[in-house]
Amino acid sequence: MRDPLLSVRDFSVVYDVDPPVEAVKNVSLELRRGEILGLAGESGCGKTTLAYGIQRLLKAPAIISSGSVEFHDGTTGETVDVNALHPEQMRRFRWDKVSMVFQGAMNALNPVATIGSQLEDVFEIHRPGMSRFERRRAVVELLEIVKVGGDRIRSFPHELSGGMRQRVMIAMALALRPQLMVMDEPTTALDVLVQREILAQISQLRHEFGFSVIFITHDLPLLLEISDRIAIMREGEIVELDTAERIWNAPKHDYTRTLLSSFPRLTGERGVVAR
């Protein structure tokens, strides 16, 4: 069994409104080094809130009400208490150790700045010792790695297809070679063929660079295809956590079985909808 990279214990998030809303309830999970952990559940179940919470990206009225998040740094061998990091430490921690691919690439990219300048910003902020030439070379290399092409360095987001914009977001998340990449619905609004290309590339890059992935989606069949393990969330809680194979062949929770049965099969008898 691989060593742990991220340990989350009894983690809860409350939205401080009237009345308060418990968005994440006492979640505990462990992410192993180099694995893809799928996080599945219907919209509003707390998947994105959990992902934002473990990176301290939540904004008011969201409050982390309890729990701990520990990052086991594979480079230094240290265990980092993420909740205890000061703002400047947290700024360095993000993108360097943990990066995120946000949902909606077109909204995440600045529409009036070139792709190259936006990628260069990552290095300028987090690697201030790099020269302009080194930054530009690193950006071209990133664009080649994600198969966008270095010649697109002067392109604006609107000049790229949805799939290419999503690849740029992956390049941005990969820039500092993080140990963990959190992906929030990274294939939403992409057609099926482009989805498959993006998923294949994520798997290839994971094998090449050795990072772990938390992959968030409501699309359980997709997770069954790419994940090592899958956590099923419902109403802020993880109701089942197991290997993708066991989730598919022997789901233990009724909600997991309901999710699996909600997707149409390509083979077998045609079902009849009761009136």
| Three-state SS sequence of 54-86 | HCCCCCCCEEEEEEEEEEECCCCCCEEEHHHCC
pLDDT tens string 103-161 = 776 678 899 999 999 999 999 999 999 999 999 999 999 999 999 999 999 999 999 99
pLDDT of the residue at 106: 61
Answer yes or no: is pLDDT of 50 > 80.
Answer: yes
Tell whether the torsion through CA atoms of 101, 102, 103 and 107 is positive or negative: negative
Task: Look at the pTM and tell me if it is higher than 0.95.
Answer: no
- Closest C-alpha among 12, 160, 23, 8 to residue 98: 8
Evaluate whether 18 touches 66 at the Cβ level (below 8 Å): no
CATH: 1.10.3720.10, 1.10.10.10, 3.10.310.50, 3.40.50.300. Which one for 4-261? Answer: 3.40.50.300
CA atoms within 13 A on the CB side of 178: 27
Domain ranges of the chain: 4-261
pLDDT value at residue 114: 97
What value does the mean pLDDT take over residues 73-98?
94
Phi-psi category of residue 21: left, alpha or beta, with phi > 0 → left and psi -120 to 50 → alpha: beta
For the chain, the average pLDDT equals 91
Read off the pLDDT of residues 233-258 as tens digits, 9 standing for 90 and up: 999 999 999 999 999 999 999 999 99
